[in-house]
Amino acid sequence: MVHPCDALIVSCIDFRFQKYIRNWLDKNVSDKTFDYVGYAGGVKDIAIILSQLKISVDLHAIKQVILMNHEACGAYGVESTPENHARDLKKAKEIILATYPQLNVQTYYLHLDGEFEEVL
Protein backbone atom coordinates (compact mmCIF):
# COMPACT_ATOMS: atom_id res chain seq x y z
CA MET A 1 0.00 0.00 0.00
CA VAL A 2 1.42 3.33 -1.09
CA HIS A 3 1.05 6.45 1.04
CA PRO A 4 1.92 9.18 -1.44
CA CYS A 5 4.52 11.74 -0.46
CA ASP A 6 6.02 14.51 -2.60
CA ALA A 7 9.72 14.39 -1.89
CA LEU A 8 12.76 12.96 -0.15
CA ILE A 9 15.22 15.30 1.57
CA VAL A 10 18.80 14.12 2.19
CA SER A 11 21.20 16.04 4.39
CA CYS A 12 24.11 15.55 6.78
CA ILE A 13 23.37 15.06 10.47
CA ASP A 14 25.42 18.17 11.38
CA PHE A 15 23.48 20.22 13.96
CA ARG A 16 24.99 23.48 12.73
CA PHE A 17 22.87 23.32 9.59
CA GLN A 18 19.53 22.05 10.88
CA LYS A 19 18.07 25.47 11.55
CA TYR A 20 19.08 26.69 8.08
CA ILE A 21 17.59 23.56 6.55
CA ARG A 22 14.32 23.91 8.49
CA ASN A 23 13.98 27.53 7.40
CA TRP A 24 14.77 26.66 3.80
CA LEU A 25 12.27 23.80 3.78
CA ASP A 26 9.60 26.06 5.32
CA LYS A 27 10.21 28.58 2.57
CA ASN A 28 10.65 26.25 -0.42
CA VAL A 29 8.65 23.08 0.19
CA SER A 30 6.12 24.14 2.81
CA ASP A 31 3.29 23.01 0.54
CA LYS A 32 4.78 19.53 0.16
CA THR A 33 5.14 16.39 2.21
CA PHE A 34 8.57 14.82 2.46
CA ASP A 35 10.57 11.96 3.88
CA TYR A 36 13.88 12.91 5.47
CA VAL A 37 17.25 11.16 5.61
CA GLY A 38 19.90 12.57 7.93
CA TYR A 39 23.20 10.80 7.35
CA ALA A 40 26.74 11.98 8.11
CA GLY A 41 28.31 13.25 4.90
CA GLY A 42 25.00 13.70 3.07
CA VAL A 43 25.43 11.83 -0.24
CA LYS A 44 29.00 10.70 0.57
CA ASP A 45 27.90 7.10 1.12
CA ILE A 46 25.72 6.74 -1.96
CA ALA A 47 24.84 3.08 -1.24
CA ILE A 48 23.18 4.07 2.05
CA ILE A 49 21.33 6.93 0.42
CA LEU A 50 20.11 4.68 -2.41
CA SER A 51 18.79 2.15 0.09
CA GLN A 52 16.75 4.87 1.79
CA LEU A 53 15.65 6.34 -1.53
CA LYS A 54 14.38 2.95 -2.68
CA ILE A 55 12.17 2.69 0.39
CA SER A 56 10.89 6.23 -0.14
CA VAL A 57 10.05 5.45 -3.78
CA ASP A 58 8.51 2.04 -3.05
CA LEU A 59 6.43 3.09 -0.05
CA HIS A 60 5.64 6.71 -0.85
CA ALA A 61 6.03 7.10 -4.62
CA ILE A 62 7.98 10.34 -4.23
CA LYS A 63 8.50 12.59 -7.26
CA GLN A 64 11.30 14.84 -6.09
CA VAL A 65 14.67 14.40 -4.35
CA ILE A 66 16.59 17.23 -2.72
CA LEU A 67 20.22 16.42 -1.88
CA MET A 68 22.18 18.70 0.47
CA ASN A 69 25.88 18.53 1.26
CA HIS A 70 27.61 21.25 3.25
CA GLU A 71 30.77 23.24 3.81
CA ALA A 72 33.26 22.02 6.45
CA CYS A 73 31.71 18.56 6.67
CA GLY A 74 33.45 16.42 9.28
CA ALA A 75 32.49 13.23 7.44
CA TYR A 76 34.63 14.46 4.52
CA GLY A 77 37.44 15.81 6.73
CA VAL A 78 40.22 17.34 4.61
CA GLU A 79 38.32 16.18 1.52
CA SER A 80 35.53 18.66 2.30
CA THR A 81 36.19 21.01 -0.61
CA PRO A 82 33.48 22.68 -2.71
CA GLU A 83 34.77 20.73 -5.72
CA ASN A 84 34.45 17.36 -4.00
CA HIS A 85 30.95 18.14 -2.76
CA ALA A 86 29.89 19.27 -6.23
CA ARG A 87 31.41 16.12 -7.72
CA ASP A 88 29.60 13.82 -5.28
CA LEU A 89 26.28 15.65 -5.59
CA LYS A 90 26.40 15.46 -9.39
CA LYS A 91 27.41 11.80 -9.26
CA ALA A 92 24.58 11.02 -6.83
CA LYS A 93 22.09 12.78 -9.10
CA GLU A 94 23.33 10.81 -12.13
CA ILE A 95 23.10 7.50 -10.28
CA ILE A 96 19.61 8.27 -8.99
CA LEU A 97 18.35 9.33 -12.43
CA ALA A 98 19.81 6.20 -14.03
CA THR A 99 17.51 4.12 -11.83
CA TYR A 100 14.62 6.55 -11.35
CA PRO A 101 14.43 8.78 -14.45
CA GLN A 102 10.97 9.99 -13.36
CA LEU A 103 12.39 11.85 -10.36
CA ASN A 104 13.16 15.55 -10.22
CA VAL A 105 16.54 15.75 -8.45
CA GLN A 106 17.93 18.99 -7.04
CA THR A 107 21.35 19.37 -5.44
CA TYR A 108 22.57 22.02 -3.00
CA TYR A 109 25.83 22.97 -1.33
CA LEU A 110 25.19 24.67 2.01
CA HIS A 111 27.57 27.31 3.24
CA LEU A 112 28.39 27.82 6.92
CA ASP A 113 26.55 31.15 6.82
CA GLY A 114 23.33 29.41 5.76
CA GLU A 115 23.50 30.17 2.03
CA PHE A 116 22.03 27.45 -0.20
CA GLU A 117 24.03 27.20 -3.41
CA GLU A 118 22.38 25.11 -6.11
CA VAL A 119 24.86 22.72 -7.77
CA LEU A 120 24.04 22.40 -11.46
Q: Which is nearer to Zn ion, 62 or 73 (CB)?
A: 73
> Which residues, including other chains, have CB under 8 Å from residue 115's CB and lie 6 or more apart?
none
Question: Which residues contribute to the site for Zn ion (CB under 5 A)?
Answer: 12, 14, 73, 75
Strand 116-118 with 104-110, pairing: antiparallel
Report d(CA 3, CA 59) in Å as an integer: 6
Q: Which is nearer to Zn ion, 9 or 103 (CB)?
A: 9
Q: How far is the CB of 62 from Zn ion (least distance, A)?
A: 23
CB neighbours (10 Å) of residue 107?
Answer: 25
Report d(CA 56, CA 38) in Å as an integer: 14
Q: How far is the CB of 12 from Zn ion (least distance, A)?
A: 3
Q: Which is nearer to Zn ion, 22 or 61 (CB)?
A: 22
Q: Which is nearer to Zn ion, 73 or 105 (CB)?
A: 73
Q: How far is the CB of 13 from Zn ion (least distance, A)?
A: 7
Q: How far is the CB of 113 from Zn ion (least distance, A)?
A: 16
